[in-house]
Every structure is written in structure tokens, then in C-alpha cells.
Structure 1
Amino acid sequence: MRLSVFHPQQVEPQLLIDLKKIYASAWPELQLTDLALNSLIAQKSPSLYVAMFNERHIAAALLSIEGNTANLSQFTVRDLTRRRGVGKYLLTQLELIAKAQGATTIATTLNEQEQPFSGFLVAMGYQEQHGKWCKTL
């Protein structure tokens, strides 16, 4: 099956199970309850996007667009599927989605726990500017 990226329109049991696995190492348990994840899926901004392969969600990120800038947050690839191109594909697709919605720049801010992600961002063409990692679309 082909890797795909999409914004889930409805809550499915497998999506909840997979989101708990994706964010298990990044979020506290309080944010991984079914109620919290249902709320996350339903919210309009930022919107949740997931990468799916073989009927399993293996990566996720939040994307919001404010004016000409797309803001990326909570970008996470499930531990078991890292270093296989999933993150690169997800980020590339999110950039295309942001550009199609009128964004000219995409940016993300990394917290201390996410600092190893900066090497990935550099490889994807991002530059640090005033504490944010940005890329012109």
C-alpha cells in the first residue's frame, strides 16, 4: 500500500489507537485520552494531519495557517517507523497543502525536547530565524 497524508474527517477506533502510539513518547497521558484525541481531531485550527501506511497511522502533525504563514507543530513520526522517509514525505505534503492554501512561508518552533528535530529541518531546507525554523514555499 502507498504512503498517504490526509486530514482525518472522522474519528475511527484505529486512528485513536495509532495516535496514542505516535504521541506516546511526546505527550503526557492526559493528552492521550480518547476525549482529548477526539477534540484534537475535530478542531479546525490547527488541523491534524496524519501519514498512513498499510492501514496504520504512522506519523502526525498539526498545521495552521495565519495570513501568509503556515505554522507547524507536534510533528512526530512513530518510533518504529523513523529513518524510512516517512517524516520527509509528511513534511513535503504539508508544505504543498500550506502552499495550496495561500501560505508563502512555513515555520515551526522547537521546544527543548524537540531539538534533535533541527537536523532534519536543516536537511529539508529550513533555516533558523529569531528562534523559529522557517522555509519559503
Structure 2
Amino acid sequence: MRLTVHCLSRLPEQHRHHAELILQGRTPPDQAMLYLATFNDRAVALAWRREDTLEFIAVRDLTRRRGIGRELLRQVKQEARAAGLTRLDCDPAQAPDGEREGLAAFLQGQGFRPREAVLSCCLYE
């Protein structure tokens, strides 16, 4: 099977177990666009966005470095453009302590640049 990114308003119960492994104790907000990446019907990555802020993005540790985060972020950017947004911001401080540098490096590799206290990506470059 192939990787599928679902744009959702809430996390499906069937994916809750694997999503909890990704969330590491965090809870998705009630009012946000959720993006769930699945492979072989298992949740492998999760992100959520409110307005022009990517508040959370994470790939399950067992499936990292396979392009999943890149594809998930591509879908988030596409949906943000479709919603009329011109940029997307993300604060790497949202990641657990040991993963902040890795998240910042990933985001910068995907076109995000420092802007004030966050990393920002122009959606029309």
C-alpha cells in the first residue's frame, strides 16, 4: 500500500492507538485541521494547523527518514494555500526537548526560514 494523508476534523478511533505513539502525551485540539498520514492502515505521522500556524507535526520514530514528514508537510501546505493562506508559521519549541533541533532542521530543509520567534514558509514561492 501507499502513504495516504487524510485531512480530518477529528482523529478516527481506529487510528487512536498508533496516533498516541506519535503524540507522546499531547492531545489534539478540538478546533484545528488534523492531518493524519497512514501506511498500511496504521497512523505513521500527524500534524495539525490552526489558521496560519502549524502547531504540531511529528512522525512516528520507527518510520522516520522515509519521506513521510515531507509528504505530510506538502499536504498541509497545499491545504493552507487552498484556504487562501500566504504563509505558514511553525515554532520548533512545540517538539519535545531532544527533538527541537531535528524539527527545526527538517522545517528549514522544507523551505521554512527564521522570522521573529518562529520559522515561516511562504506558500507561493
Q: Calculate the TM-score normalised by the size of structure 1.
A: 0.78
Q: CA RMSD in A?
A: 1.8
Aligned with residue 107 of structure 2, among 117, 121, 127: 121
Counterpart residue number, 1:91: 73
Report runs of 4+ in structure 1 exceeding 4 Å deviation.
Answer: none
Aligned length: 119
Structure with higher Rg: it is 1
Q: Tell me, in whole angstroms, the C-alpha distance in 1 between the residues paired with 2:121 and 2:102.
A: 18
Q: Tell me, in whole angstroms, the C-alpha distance in 1 between the residues paired with 2:10 and 2:120.
A: 31
Q: Tell me, in whole angstroms, the C-alpha distance in 2 between the residues paired with 1:49 and 1:124.
A: 17
Partners of 2:55 and 2:90 within 8 A in 1 = yes
Counterpart residue number, 1:59: 45
Counterpart residue number, 1:80: 62
Consecutive unaligned residues in structure 2, runs of 5 or more = none
- Provide, for residues 4-24 of structure 1, a one-character-per-residue CA deviation record: whole Å limited to 9, x for no partner: 111235654331101111123
Q: Tell me, in whole angstroms, the C-alpha distance in 1 between the residues paired with 2:8 and 2:113.
A: 30
Identical-residue share of aligned pairs (%): 30
